Amino acid sequence: MLAPRDAIGAHTLRVRHLLRRLGLHSEIFVAGVHSDLADQVMDYRQFSSKFSDSATWIIYQSSIGSRLASVVAGLDVKKIVNYHSVTPAFLLELWDPKVAVLLAAGRSELKRLAPLSVAGVADSAYNKQEMEDVGYTSCSVAPPLIDMSNFEYAPDEKTLKELKERDCCLWLFVGRIVPNKAQHDLIKAFSVYRRLYDPNACLALVGGVFLPNYQLALENYAASLGISDAVIFTDSVTSSELSAYYKSADIFVCLSDHEGFCVPLLEAMYNKIPVVAYAQAAVGETVGEGGLLLEKKDPVLVATSVHKILSDKKLRDTLVSSGNAQLDKLSLAQNELRFIDALRHGIGEDFK
């Protein structure tokens, strides 16, 4: 499924652009597409009759379970798997067993494609290890192709005004409302911060509701802690509204239990917001030295860390500066070179 404002979708479009720039014929094949991008893709059923020959390679974008994995497995062409991580099913199975089944399928499909693929490309070393664990013998790391100029939107004036009227220290996290992103732990740490340091602080949880039961549990949890008025649930927002939240935030806090990369961390750095993050899964790689990484997410530790950054201008400025340096390391130009090297490693002499 190719959808707008989706990290894997944006990466896929950039891969096609890169390959065409290199003089190769490249097309995107999908099982479904958002209407805004319908002119950018072809239906996967068109592949075999028009494009399958000895000079053809498939780069399969692997994440959640998809019927296209079986289609790709059955095609007699050379294959590279570009793996974007699959959330472990146990993190969601109590909230939505159907989604957990899709996640488990995604991991099974990754393993199934291992002996059928020439190489793997992972968007983090963490994901590379997962590929090797299921049988990939030739893997490279190439972070997602992200055009950071797309982070720049004129902020929505109405949202800016509403946030300014709150007149509060604003914690921000951006990501779907889903248990692996651990918004419950954010609410817990935020509650401690309000009790210990700033009773007027606010927390914005910006992201679409993926599991309604989890959203309801978060709302009830905030109410039980007496901080409902201080926790903002936005659901999906426009790019301009998202920009307003980034422009208004004082600190970006990520306590996710699983992230295969986590693009919002880069968005926070781009907007010169200091980052505090739990160093789990691939988060440490993405943040690098661009934020304060915590080895555990004890709520008092998180709250105290946030307070230290916000009360120490020198430390805050150092983290922002380090964030800028991390963005340079993960620039589109640098990651395109890494992706080309990964393809050369996988394809070898046939890749010109």
pLDDT tens digits for range 39-91: 999 999 988 766 767 788 999 999 889 999 999 999 989 999 999 999 999 99
DSSP secondary structure string, 267-278? HHHHTT--EEEE
The enclosing H or E element of 287 equals: helix 283-287
Residue extent(s) of CATH 3.40.50.2000 domains in the chain: 7-146+332-350, 149-329
Q: Is 85 within 8 Å of 257 (Cβ atoms)?
A: no
Q: With H, G, I as helix, E, B as strand and everything else as coil, classify residue 74.
A: helix
* Least reliable range by pLDDT among 64-78, 196-210, 268-282, 294-308: 64-78
Say what the pLDDT of residue 270 is. 97
Indicate if the pLDDT at residue 179 is higher than 80: yes
Highest CATH level, class, for 149-329: alpha beta
pTM for the full model? 0.94
Say what the pLDDT of residue 312 is. 97
State which CATH number among 3.40.1550.10, 3.30.70.360, 3.40.50.2000, 1.10.3720.10 fits the domain covering 7-146+332-350: 3.40.50.2000
Find the DSSP H helices in 77-173.
Answer: 97-113, 125-133, 157-166
Share of the chain above pLDDT 70, in %: 98
pLDDT tens digits for range 129-166: 999 999 999 999 999 999 999 899 999 999 999 999 99
The residues, ordered by sequence, that sit 6+ positions from 65 with a Cβ below 8 Å of its Cβ are 101, 102, 103, 104, 105, 106, 108, 109
Integer-rounded Cα Rg, in Å, for the chain is 21
Q: Residue 234, Cα to own-chain centre: how many angstroms?
A: 18
DSSP secondary structure string, 298-338? -HHHHHHHHHHHHH-HHHHHHHHHHHHHHHHHT-HHHHHHH
DSSP secondary structure string, 252-266? EEE--S--SS-HHHH
Confidence of residue 5 (pLDDT cuts 50, 70, 90): confident
Paired with 80 in beta bridges are 59, 119
pLDDT tens digits for range 285-318: 999 999 999 999 999 999 999 999 999 999 999 9
Question: What average pLDDT does the structure give for the chain?
Answer: 94
Packed helices 313-329 and 263-270: angle between N→C axes, nearest 10 degrees: 120
Q: Averaged over 169-181, what is the pLDDT?
A: 97
Residues 278/282/287/293 CA torsion (nearest 10 deg): 30
